[in-house]
Amino acid sequence: MNYYNEIKDTLIKNEMYKKAKDYSKNKSDLKSYYEVGRLLIEAQGGAERAKYGNKLIKEYSERLTKELGKGYTTTNLRYMRKFYLVFRKRHTLCDKLSWSHYRLIMAQKSEQIDYYIYIAENQNLSVRELQERIKSNEYERVGYKEELSEPKINTLIKNPIVIKTKNIPEKITEYALHNLILENMDNFLKELGVGFAYVGHEVKIKLGNNYNYIDFLLFNMEYGCYVVVEIKVTELKAEHIGQTVKYMNYVDKNIKKDFHDKTAGIIICKKNNEFVVEYVGFPKLFVSTYKVINV
């Protein structure tokens, strides 16, 4: 079998198809590059030997570049080979994602690949947005469980929550942290997860004869529920949980509608306390730490 001619024909057909049907070029690219990867593996004598078969790739790259033009560097051919090796057993290719998406995803550790494919596809992430998610180590912060047959993303909380600012205060008080979040609310909502919308901050509520203020009141459209967010710059304490649950109950009784789900709560603190979380558990209350970074 003449592997070079097979690879060349596959790439030529892909270029012709993309010009004629631009709307489905992603699908054509992925199918073609996957096939090229398979042919490269076979030409190099199988998957085990292919790991070391860069001499043949260099030869094919030079010939393809001479005959077809740019775009077929040794690096790109190695990516096509890896594309086949990574996805031949684990995943149905998604034509919502581009070749650039897959190149980013392939560079991640094996256990992270399914997660990043899932969020890129379901959250319609651009290549740049996906790159930012990867750079922020999102996989490690969401508690993703690989053994699930279908990814179930904990969209209500990451750990830590990354708060971006251009000027980090010398001392981060609750007031300062509150303002940092307000300055970049869009980023804060994205950090929390999918479907969050801003309702208000320092929301005034009356409990008995006293007035209290909810740090942030949000609404999650994925879950159809209000979300109370409380900010603490100390280690988590039992009274923080009691306070937040009290606010959640208030929202359930006075703000939410009958068709909304029960209110959730998020406490963002300097340091978690697993003992407190374990023994003062509440099913829709989430706890995370925060990290402030310069951008």
DSSP β-bridge partners for residue 201: 216
Read off the pLDDT of residues 182-218 as tens digits, 9 standing for 90 and up.
999 999 998 888 889 999 999 999 988 999 999 999 9
Is the domain defined by 161-294 classed in CATH 3.40.1350.10? yes
According to DSSP, the residues that pair with 39 across neighbouring strands are: none
pLDDT at res. 230: 96
The residue that leads in pLDDT, 29 or 199, is 199
Please write the tens of the pLDDT for every residue from 78-124.
999 999 999 887 667 887 899 999 999 999 988 889 889 988 988 88
Buried b (16+ CB within 10 A) or exposed e, 104-116: bbeeeeeebbbbb
- Report domain extents, the chain: 3-142, 161-294
Sign of CA dihedral 108, 111, 112, 118: positive
146 confidence band (pLDDT: 50, 70, 90): low
Higher pLDDT: 149 or 265? It is: 265
Pick the more confident residue, 184 or 21.
184
Q: Taking Cα atoms as reference points, which of 159, 279, 289, 156 lies closest to residue 224? A: 156
Give the angle 66-25-42 at the CA atoms, nearest 5°: 55
Strand partners, 163: 292
pLDDT, one tens digit per residue, over 126-143 is: 999 999 989 988 888 876
